[in-house]
Amino acid sequence: MDLRMDKVDRISALPEGILQHIISFLSFKQAVQTSTLSKIWKQAWLTYPILNVDRTDKDPERRRVILTYLGQTLLKRDMEMISITKLVLKMELTSYEASYIEQSLQYAVRGCKLELQSRVNLPSLRNLSLAQIDASDQVIDYVVSGCPLIEFLRIDDCLELKSLKLFNLDKLKKIKVSFNEKLERVEINASNVHSLSITYTVTPCWINVVLCKNLKQLKLWSLSITDEWLCNEISELLLLEYLDVACCMNLESILISSSRLKTLFIGGCINLVEAKIEAPSLSAFSYQGDMISFSFNALALSEVDLYFYTDDSDAEWLFKFIEALAKFHQFSEVINLKIDSIEHMLVPRALRQTLMPPLSGTKHLNFRNSYACLRFPIMEVVDSLLWISPHLETLSIEIGSRNKIFLQFSYNNPVIYEGETPRCCQSRPISCWQHCMKKIEIEHTKNYIGEVINRYSFVEEEILEMLEKIDAALLI
């Protein structure tokens, strides 16, 4: 044999991937040993994404040392942003032992294949997040059922998870389950859960949460839930205060009857045609999507957010729009209205003679135009919005994210027009704004930082003239 070769360290010259491949065939203990050979080997171990703790020591001191080491290693990998792709733990841990690793498990077990031989006891763990874990229902069950004090549980992106059953976890307060593609069944009976979020499981999934009697907040996004399921489930959740339903494509007709519900969001359910809401405590309602028909019994409603898509708007859309707005007029003093482009909701003057202004009770209207430019003079926009909602106290118009115009109105008394009625006011219970406006204060802010570029204050005759000036300013 060539003597020269005896002096050359050829093994350390191998690519790191090969060194790690070699490490993969070593026991955990021996693998750790190799990290003390030289700097190259230390580095190979530090970036090796698999931790296979194959030890099943009986000696408590030795177990403690190994687990402490594992805990530190997990933490270190997390800090160095080295994700662990596989974690194998063959020991059955006592509650005391589990405390060595539970904190680091929380952070480090991400994107990891988890193999556990038995239940892991993490008796004081309160916050558990399982993300991108490649683990069977059984393993997830081992982990979760070993955490009797758990308060917050999050299960994200666990692609092997098919059935999630959470029973007898009395301390559990908050649950988030999302992006679990293969999830077919969710059954939760945890009496103290107050917040539950199940999102992004597009495959048909059987869900039962009615036993969560103390549930206050529920978020359901991108699920294949049906009208009937939603209606039944909500009626059983007597303490529910907050409901957020979005992108559930199977929903066509939402019927919600809830005595405690305070906040309701409905958005992006593309097949929805109607929403019937019976919620005497409801104070905030938000809707985003195509035009649908609303039916409301919600006397406590004080803030309404509406964002209507206008992709296929036509004359009929405008009628539906006015009809929909009218459903809110008796409830809400503040309406936030968003639309992609103002042109869809400009009400032709001829129509204004025959229709009732839909939001005659509204005091504050905040209008947002998604597109950054208005295709119509601001005068037209104000005029149309003031027909929709006569005698507003304030009107805010946001155009894209750059321009915001805030208008504050004061009117001549009496507002109800008496005596000689101008033609434009004849068909109305209250006079049109042009005939009773006393004073307008306008603030125009531009740019993202909210710099005020102009303030105007003027009375009666100057109004039209001033609005024209703003139009000019918008173009800058």
Pick the binder of another protein from 3, 7, 315, 461 (CB under 8 A): 7
Query: Torsions phi, psi of 350, nearest 5?
Result: -60, -40
Sign of CA dihedral 227, 233, 238, 239: negative
Q: How far is the CB of 82 from another protein (least distance, A)?
A: 17
Distance, in Å, from the CA atom of 406 to the CA atom of 457, rounded to the nearest integer, reads: 12
Closest C-alpha among 74, 69, 118 to residue 94: 118
Pick the binder of another protein from 24, 56, 191, 295 (CB under 8 A): 24
Binding positions for another protein, 67-126, rule CB under 8 A: 69, 72
Alpha helices by DSSP H, listed for 178-243, are 227-236
* Stretch near another protein under the rule CB under 8 A, chosen from 23-31, 224-232, 298-306, 360-368: 23-31
Distance, in Å, from the CA atom of 382 to the CA atom of 428, rounded to the nearest integer, reads: 18
Beta-carbon contacts of 39 under 8 Å, excluding residues fewer than 6 positions away, are none
Nearer to another protein, 41 or 229 (CB): 41
Nearer to another protein, 11 or 459 (CB): 11
* Stretch near another protein under the rule CB under 8 A, chosen from 60-68, 195-203, 273-281, 401-409: 60-68
Number of residues this chain uses to bind another protein (CB under 8 A): 39
Residue 304 is classified by DSSP as E
Distance, in Å, from the CA atom of 444 to the CA atom of 452, rounded to the nearest integer, reads: 6
Decide if residue 66 touches another protein (CB under 8 A).
yes
Tokens of 118: 């038995």
Decide if residue 14 touches another protein (CB under 8 A).
yes
Q: How far is the CB of 14 from another protein (least distance, A)?
A: 6
Nearer to another protein, 100 or 287 (CB): 100
Q: How far is the CB of 398 from another protein (least distance, A)?
A: 56
Pick the binder of another protein from 43, 46, 56, 65 (CB under 8 A): 65
Q: Is residue 429 within 8 Å of 475, Cβ to Cβ?
A: no
Binding positions for another protein, 287-316, rule CB under 8 A: none
Nearer to another protein, 13 or 452 (CB): 13
Give CA 85 to chain center in angstroms.
28
Backbone Cα Rg of the chain: 32
Q: How far is the CB of 447 from another protein (least distance, A)?
A: 54
Decide if residue 8 touches another protein (CB under 8 A).
yes
Decide if residue 60 touches another protein (CB under 8 A).
no
Sign of CA dihedral 138, 144, 145, 146: positive
Pick the binder of another protein from 3, 15, 413, 475 (CB under 8 A): 15
The residue type found at 198 is: I
* Stretch near another protein under the rule CB under 8 A, chosen from 13-21, 231-239, 275-283, 418-426: 13-21
Q: How far is the CB of 68 from another protein (least distance, A)?
A: 9
Query: Torsions phi, psi of 415, nearest 5?
Result: -70, -40
Q: How far is the CB of 42 from another protein (least distance, A)?
A: 7
Distance, in Å, from the CA atom of 56 to the CA atom of 13, rounded to the nearest integer, reads: 34
Beta-carbon contacts of 312 under 8 Å, excluding residues fewer than 6 positions away, are none
At residue 128's C-alpha, the angle toward residues 123 and 132, to 5°, is 135
Nearer to another protein, 7 or 423 (CB): 7
Q: How far is the CB of 32 from another protein (least distance, A)?
A: 4
Distance, in Å, from the CA atom of 56 to the CA atom of 12, rounded to the nearest integer, reads: 31
Alpha helices by DSSP H, listed for 146-285, are 227-236
Q: How far is the CB of 17 from another protein (least distance, A)?
A: 8
Pick the binder of another protein from 47, 62, 412, 455 (CB under 8 A): 62
In three-state secondary structure terms, 469 is: helix
Decide if residue 2 touches another protein (CB under 8 A).
yes
Q: How far is the CB of 49 from another protein (least distance, A)?
A: 16
Nearer to another protein, 42 or 402 (CB): 42
Q: How far is the CB of 288 from another protein (least distance, A)?
A: 50
Binding positions for another protein, 313-352, rule CB under 8 A: none
Provide the strand spans (E) within 258-292.
Answer: 263-267, 274-278, 284-289
Binding positions for another protein, 27-56, rule CB under 8 A: 27, 29-30, 32-39, 41-42
Distance, in Å, from the CA atom of 341 to the CA atom of 369, rounded to the nearest integer, reads: 6
Q: How far is the CB of 252 from another protein (least distance, A)?
A: 51
* Range 66-76 burial, b when 16+ CB lie within 10 A, else e: bbeebbebbbe
The H or E element containing residue 301 is: none
Q: How far is the CB of 122 from another protein (least distance, A)?
A: 23
Query: Torsions phi, psi of 110, nearest 5?
Result: -135, 130
Binding positions for another protein, 123-142, rule CB under 8 A: none
Nearer to another protein, 43 or 259 (CB): 43
Decide if residue 12 touches another protein (CB under 8 A).
yes
Binding residues (CB under 8 A) for another protein: these are 1-2, 5-15, 17-18, 21-27, 29-30, 32-39, 41-42, 62, 65-66, 69, 72
